[in-house]
Structure formats: structure tokens, C-alpha cells
Chains A and B, each alone.
Chain A
Amino acid sequence: MYRYDEFDQSLVDARVTEFRGQVARRLAGDITEDEFKPLRLMNGLYLQLHAYMLRVAIPYGTFNSRQMHMLAEIARKYDKGYGHFTTRQNIQYNWLKLDDVPDLLADLASVEMHAIQTSGNCIRNTTSDQYAGAAADEIEDPRPTCEIIRQWSTFHPEFSFLPRKFKIAVTGAPKDRAAVQIHDIGIQIVENNKGEVGYSIFVGGGLGRTPMVGKHIRAFLPRQDLLAYLEAIMRVYNMLGRRDNIYKARIKILVHEASAAEFTRLVEEEFEKIDQTKLMALPEEELDRIAAYFAAPEFETLGPCPAEHLEALDRDRDFALWVKANVVPHKVPGYAIANISLKPIGGVPGDITSDQMDGVAELAKDYSFDEIRATHEQNLVLPHVRERDLYAIWQRLKALELATANIGLVSDIIACPGLDYCNLANARSIPVAQLISERFAELDRQHDIGELKIKISGCINACGHHHVGHIGILGVDRKGEEYYQITLGGSADENTRLGDITGPSFPYDKVVDAVETLVTTYVDLRQSGETFLQTYARVGLAPFKENLYAAA
């Protein structure tokens, strides 16, 4: 894992001091709320209906037990004893008091964490593959690239007042677990035919009211050119992105209005000019220095799957189901990647209590080389555990009420806060997620249905990524009533695709039945081994639509 050096630490500390001063000026009335707003937004602090909400970055989703314990402690000290993991590898606290926030930030800084640039029209927390450094299909660990981007984008003097917020995601594997094509910039690590590792670049993806899949603008970017190229993209966007209409201010609109070809030409032209100075060329030593922090932990040489693990699988069906859903192969024999679901049946997706956080921290320390990951699907991961420890891990997770065996299944739902918390919402999201997971609670049935990603947003801002759900659910307002529009066939992986709208929307009390109809339609139509998405790709919208609206 990356460790701050004196420079990194001094910058995060300086930010705390700066913000303490700004809060003092605000509390003393020296600056108005209007003047304070952009300052607090630079520090991830939002003013919500009832209290202040703080968004803390977990850069590229990697953190350790010390940091997790601190997140737990912060929830106890300044909030109501729980936190909420989001879709962007951040954690949010919902019930803060303004005068506590500088102390909270100082606590974070003491464990090398911060809330810098987690809101505002700047470059946000860079996100990545939650299996980085553990996945078997990886070309290269994406985290050194992410850390370089984190440092470069931190307090960037030119790009802190962009037309709109800006999100970058990096994946190091051909299987895209970081949803790079729905980001403002998506970076995929690739290898060219000379065996050199570099970057393939997508620009202009994003959801919200105008959902778009990123355009592929560069097939191979040499590694040392990364920052020069990013500066070129950012500069073109900063100068030409629309500022007249907040809904048209994201880079996706610029790329769309200019055309991908023209946008690419502008970027390449700017890149050439920037590159002439070589000022932004990444020095080899710095790449090596950062990469060294992400060296693989000292894995043991382990034999094939130990007998005690196989016995436990045989003996304990609940354990076997958990392994089937939540455990993923690791690149090193004898190790595994263990997912921790934050989607208990009937629970709030992404919520976790302080005690549970402490428990996960201890598990990471005891079994996973002290590493934890946060995923963009609002779950957690222990990335490097021995297969033989899985049973013990599972038992401890069970005691923590964190052993839900549903990763990638129908009850592993992404949902935005919706009407329960959010003043922009048309409809509730969390209760819909809870009702769906209760309807499909039975694990055998979930496993029979197989991989199915349901994503729910309470309004068109799409915080719940509904456009890229295999089943997407969007809250709409019909004459003051909560209604839900359904989309099918969306996906946020390497074959990113926006879902198709099925037709008229459903009232709150009919939406779970609608989901059930879609699921049974799939089960009836599927050929052996086909997932929901594969069946949908083969048969199309028509049969689903027919069954959905048959009764009406």
C-alpha cells in the first residue's frame, strides 16, 4: 500500500489547518454561507436537509485496518455510529456538526486519509478495480497509476474550477470491474504488440440525465505521457466545456457536441504542444518509487486446495453458498479474494456500523495482509486471504452479521439515498431495494437466477447507476406520485451498454412484482448456462415487455 512521505503528509495537514481557518471565519461571520460553500465543497462537506454530510475519499478503494478503525471511531465520535459506502469508493457520514469537522479531518489526516476534492467542480477521487493486485486476469496493478493521478490532481492550480465535477477511473485488467466507460476519463492498462505497457483512453462517459458511454480516443498511450495527455484533455475541457447550463457542463456533452473525432483532434494538438516542453513527462524514478509501495505481499507457497477447506464446504451448506457467491479466485494458488456484502436482506445498501468496521479491520489484519478494498458496488473486499482460512473468516463475518452470500446476485442491489435522504429525489430508492431483496431472500433461488445486477436511482441524476443495471429502476414523479421506470440490458463492464426503457412506469406497490415478472421471464427463456444479460442479448426486449404489460 502507498504510504505518505513527508510531502504528502505535510499537504494533507496543511489542508486541515486551512479548513480550520475557513470554518473559524465562517463561524465568526467573517464570510457568508455563499462564500463558504465553495470552500467546504472543496473538502467534501455538503449541507443536507438535516445536517452536514462529509464524503471521505478512499483513493482507488484501498485501505488498511488502522484506517478502517479510524473510520469506525469517527462514526462513533462525530456521527451516529455508522457510515455509508458509496458507488465511488468513498465513505459518507450523514449527521455531522460543522464545528466538529476540522477535528474530524485532523483524525483522518493522522491515518493518511482526507476528504480533499470529494466534491466541487474539480478532479475527484480516482477509482479503480477492487481486485487490483489480486486478480488473475490483470495486465498490471492499476494502483500506482491511480496514485500518480491522485498526486497530480491534488490542488491542481489550473483544474480546480472546471465547468463541472470530473471523475477518472483506471482498470488494469481486460475484464473491467471499474466501470471505466461511464467515467469522464476511463483508463485501461493495455499491452501493445511490442510487449510495452501503456494506456487506452476513453473520454466522455457518464450517466445523469444525458447518459453516454465513453468514446475511445487513444488506443495506446506510452506510460510516460500519461500526465501530459491528461493535462491536454483537462485543458481542452476547461477552456471549451459549457458553463452556461449546469446540465450540459460535463465533458460528455462537449465530446458529443464537438464530435469524438474533433475532440480527439483538439486533445492531440494540445498534447503535442504540452509534450514539447517535456515538463509533464513522468520520471522513471518516480514511477518506480510509487510502484514499489504496491509490491505484492509476501505470499506463501501453498499447495492445492487444503482438505479442511473442502471438508467445510461439504459439511456446511451455508458456508458453501457464501463461497460460491462471494469468493473469487486469486492470482496466487492457495489464496482467494473474499467479498464482504454490505447488502443484508432488507438492509440499506452500503451502510455499516462502527462495530462492523472494527470487525472487518481485525479480519484484514489477521487474514489479508492488512488490506481492505471498497468496491463501486458498495461492498468491501478482503483481497488476499488463504483458502484454508475462509471458514474461520466466514464464521467471524457471521458473528458480525456481514456474511450475506449474495455478491452479484439479485439482492446485491445498488441504490442511491433517494427520497429518504435526498432533496432532489422523485421517489424512494432504499425501500424498493429492501423490498426486492426480501422478495428474493431465498438463497437457492438467488443462485438459480445467477448473476443479475439491479441498480436504483431516485431521480434522473442517476447516483444509483440505473442506466447500466441489468435491470435499472428510476424513480419518476407522476402527478406527485412515486413511479418507477424500468430499463433492461444495461451493463458497466468492458461491454458497457445503456439499458432499454421497457415502457410506461410502475407505481411503488407494483415495482417489485414487475421485477419478479422480469426474472421469471428470464428463467423461462434461458438456455443452459445463460445469464440474464446473455438471454436478454439473445431474445431482446419484446418477450420481457410482453409479460410486463400483459396484465395491464
Chain B
Amino acid sequence: MPLLKDGRLVEDKWQRLEEHEVVPTEGAVIIDLERWQVERENLKGRAAPLGLLLMPGQSPEEIADDLSQFDLIALAFPAFKDGRAYSYARILRERLGFTGELRAVGEVLQDQLFFMARVGFDAFEVNERTSEGDFAAEMAKFPAVYQPSSCGENTVFARRHGARLVEAAE
């Protein structure tokens, strides 16, 4: 899977561990929630980077206290229609203050990248057809946004009244 990170196609340094694989001492690995729950004591304070994969139904609020253990959280879209991870992303960014890499994995379609970026994803495992140019075009497709969200972009509400304040000052 090609990886888009901050708008660039980059090499993926992370290894997703399968169920039967043991966690190596070296290297950046992504584990699932079941493994974290079982091996938590051993993995806590792992020197090499640790990432966590959450599936729909596994809300990040369940691991809120452990969040500092992870450099990366991957949120799964088993099907593009399953939109639970959009809520998880905002909770991670806005409520739990997660600042590490937030990665979208699974069925990640080009036309969804804009919404994903807005809720706080900064890395995307995309299909072979999605280019850096496509990504840039998606990010630019709407000139304004109505709702406050994790991306911190100025909303239409703010811009309207920001603009009005400037007018008043002149």
C-alpha cells in the first residue's frame, strides 16, 4: 500500500504485526488492541516506536490513559461506508490531544481524503491510483469550511465575522 504522509508519497517505516508474530525489540511496529491488552506490561516503555491499530467499535477513549505509549494510531476503514473512525479521529485530536501520526488504513478512497484530513488524519494508506497531485487537488477542492474540526482551519463563521471586524476597524 502506498503511503501518503503530509501530502508526499513516502516509504513506510512501520511494520504491521500479524497475530502470530512476536514484537521485535527493534523497529517501528503497529500492533492491534487485543495484543496491547494482553502484552501491555511488557510493551510499556518499549524503546522503539510503537503504533496501535484501532478497528471500528474500538473507541480511543478506551485507551485514553495509555495514549502516551503510542507514536502512531492507525484507524481502520474496513469499508469506506463505515464512518466510525471519523469520530475517533476527532476524539483523539481534539479531546485526547494526540499529536502523533494518525493514519487512515483500509478502504481509503480519493474522494474521502479531504474529510479525513479535516478530522485530523495526516497519513493515508491509499490505493495505487492516488498520486500526490490527486491528494493536493483533493485538499484544495473546497475553498472554505463551515464547521470547526481538528484541522484548525478558519471556518466560514469565523471568516465572516473576522471580515466584518476588519471592516468596522477601517
Interface of A toward B, CB cutoff 8 Å: 5, 7-8, 10-11, 14-15, 17-18, 22, 35, 38-39, 121, 151-152, 154-162, 235, 238-239, 243, 273, 277, 279-280, 283, 285-286, 289
- Whether A152 contacts B84 by the Cβ 8 Å rule is no
Residues of chain A contacted by B146 (CB below 8 angstroms): 11, 151-152, 154-156
Contact, CB under 8 Å: B141 / A7:
no
Known: A38-B81, A238-B86. A157 touches B118 (CB 8 A): yes
Q: Flag whether B132 is at the interface (Cβ < 8 A).
A: no
Q: Does B161 lie within 8 Å of A283, measured CB to CB?
A: yes
Looking at B15-23, B38-46, B98-106, B152-160, the stretch in contact with chain A turns out to be B152-160
Q: Which of B115, B144, B160 contacts A10 (CB 8 A)?
A: B144
Residues of A contacting B: mostly:
helix
Are A155's CB and B143's CB within 8 A?
A: no
**Also in contact, A14 and B143, with CB within 8 A (given A7-B156, A157-B115, A283-B161):** yes
In the assembled complex, the CB of B11 is this many whole angstroms from the nearest CB of chain A, namely 27
B84 — which chain A residues lie within 8 A by C-beta?
Answer: 238-239, 243
Chain B 133-164 residues near chain A, CB threshold 8 A: 141-149, 156-157, 159-161, 164
Cβ of B69 within 8 Å of any chain A Cβ, yes or no, is no
CB within 8 Å for A152 and B147 given contacts A39-B111, A161-B82: yes
Q: Smallest distance from the beta carbon of A51 to chain B beta carbons, Å? A: 24
Q: A289 to B144, Cβ gap below 8 A?
A: no
User: Knowing A154-B146, A158-B86 touch, does A121 contact B119 (C-beta < 8 A)?
Assistant: no
Given A10-B143, A286-B161, A158 contacting B94 (CB threshold 8 A): no
Distance to closest chain B CB from A305 (angstroms): 44
B161 and A285 form a contact (CB under 8 A) = yes
B63 within 8 A of A: no
Known: A155-B142, A157-B115. 4 other contacts (CB 8 A): A5-B160, A280-B148, A285-B164, A286-B157
A158 and B111 contact, CB distance less than 8 A: no
In the complex the two chains form, is B143's CB within 8 Å of A11's CB?
yes
> Contact between A161 and B83 (Cβ–Cβ < 8 Å)?
yes
B109 on the A face (CB < 8 A) = yes
Nearest to A17 among chain B residues (CB) is B141
Q: How far is the CA of A5 from the CA of B118 in the complex (A)?
A: 23
Across the interface, do A235 and B87 meet the contact criterion of CB distance under 8 Å? yes
Partner of B160, one of A11, A18, A277, A286: A286
Could you show 15 A-B contacts with beta carbons less than 8 Å apart? Answer: A10-B144, A11-B142, A35-B109, A38-B80, A152-B146, A152-B147, A157-B116, A157-B145, A158-B149, A159-B83, A159-B86, A243-B81, A279-B148, A285-B161, A286-B160
Max count, chain B CB within 10 A of own CB: residue among A18, A154, A157, A277: A157
Q: Please give the number of chain B residues whose Cβ is less than 8 angstroms from any Cβ of chain A in the complex.
A: 36
Assembled-state Cα–Cα distance A245/B158 (Å): 40
Asked if A157 and B157 sit within 8 Å, CB to CB, the answer is: no
Q: Chain B residues near A279 (CB, 8 Å)?
A: 94, 148
A238-B111 in contact (CB<8A): no
B142 touches A158 (CB 8 A): no
Q: Which residue of B lies closest to A234 (CB)?
A: B87
**In the complex, are the beta carbons of B95 and A273 less than 8 A apart?**
yes
Q: Is the CB of B59 closer than 8 A to any CB of chain A?
A: yes
Q: How far is the CA of A280 from the CA of B112 in the complex (A)?
A: 23
Residue of B nearest to A39 (CB): B111
Shortest distance from the beta carbon of B59 to any chain A beta carbon, whole Å = 6
Whole-angstrom CA separation of A160 from B85 in the bound complex: 12
A contact residues around B115 at 8 Å (CB):
155, 157-158, 160
Q: What separation, in Å, do the CA atoms of A157 and B112 have in the docked complex?
A: 9
Contacting residues, chain B, for A161 (C-beta < 8 A): 80-83, 86, 112
Does B159 contact A7, Cβ atoms closer than 8 Å? yes
Residues from chain A with a CB closer than 8 A to the CB of B159 are 7
- The residues of B that contact A151 with a CB separation of less than 8 Å are 146, 156
A10 to B146, CA, bound (A): 12
Contact pick for B119, options A35, A157, A289, CB 8 Å: A157
Closest chain A residue, CB of each to CB of B159: A7
Distance of A121 Cα from B83 Cα, bound (Å): 10
CB contacts (< 8 Å) of A39 on chain B: these are 111
Q: Is the CB of A158 within 8 A of B95?
A: no
| Chain B, range 56-92, C-beta contacts under 8 Å to A | 56, 59, 80-84, 86-88, 90
- Contact check, B142 vs A14: say whether CB atoms are below 8 A apart: yes
Most chain B CB neighbours (cut-off 10 Å) among A5, A14, A38, A158 = A158
Provide the residues of chain B in CB contact with A158, threshold 8 Å.
Answer: 83, 86-87, 90, 115, 119, 149
| Distance to closest chain B CB from A44 (angstroms) | 16
Give the distance to chain B from A5, nearest Cβ to Cβ, in Å. Answer: 7
B141 and A18 contact, CB distance less than 8 A:
yes
Q: Which of B80, B86, B88, B164 contacts A157 (CB 8 A)?
A: B86
A283-B157 in contact (CB<8A): yes
Q: What are the 4 A-B residue pairs with the smallest beta carbon separation, nearest first?
A: A161-B83, A157-B118, A157-B115, A7-B156
CA distance A387 to B115 in the complex (A): 50
Closest to B145 in A: A155
- Docked CA distance A407–B114 (Å): 46
Enumerate chain B residues within 8 angstroms of A7, measured Cβ to Cβ: 143-144, 156, 159-160
- With CB as the reference atom, state the residue of chain B lying closest to A160: B115
Contact residues in A for B164 (Cβ distance below 8 Å): 285
Q: How far is the CA of A520 from the CA of B112 in the complex (A)?
A: 57
A488 to B159 alpha-carbon distance, docked (Å): 52
Complex contacts, A159 vs chain B, CB 8 Å: 83, 86
In this complex, the member of B59, B83, B95, B119 whose beta carbon has the largest number of chain A beta carbons within 10 angstroms is B83
A121 to B141: give the CA distance in the assembly, Å.
21
Looking at B112, B147, B161, which has the most chain A CB atoms within 10 Å of its CB? Answer: B147
- Tell whether, in the assembled complex, residue B143 and residue A238 are in contact, meaning their CB atoms are under 8 Å apart: no
Task: For the complex formed, measure the closest distance between the CB of B135 and the CB atoms of chain A, giving whole angstroms.
Answer: 14
Whole-angstrom distance between the Cβ of A392 and the nearest chain B Cβ:
41
A155 CA to B147 CA, complexed, in Å: 9
In the bound complex, what is the Cα–Cα distance between A160 and B90 (angstroms)? 14
Provide the bound-state CA to CA distance between A350 and B143, in Å: 37
- Chain A residue at smallest Cβ distance from B157: A286
Nearest to A238 among chain B residues (CB) is B87
Q: In the complex, what distance in Å separates the CA atom of A283 from the CA atom of B115?
A: 24
Known contacts A157-B115, A158-B149, A285-B161; decide if A243 and B144 are in contact (CB<8 Å).
no
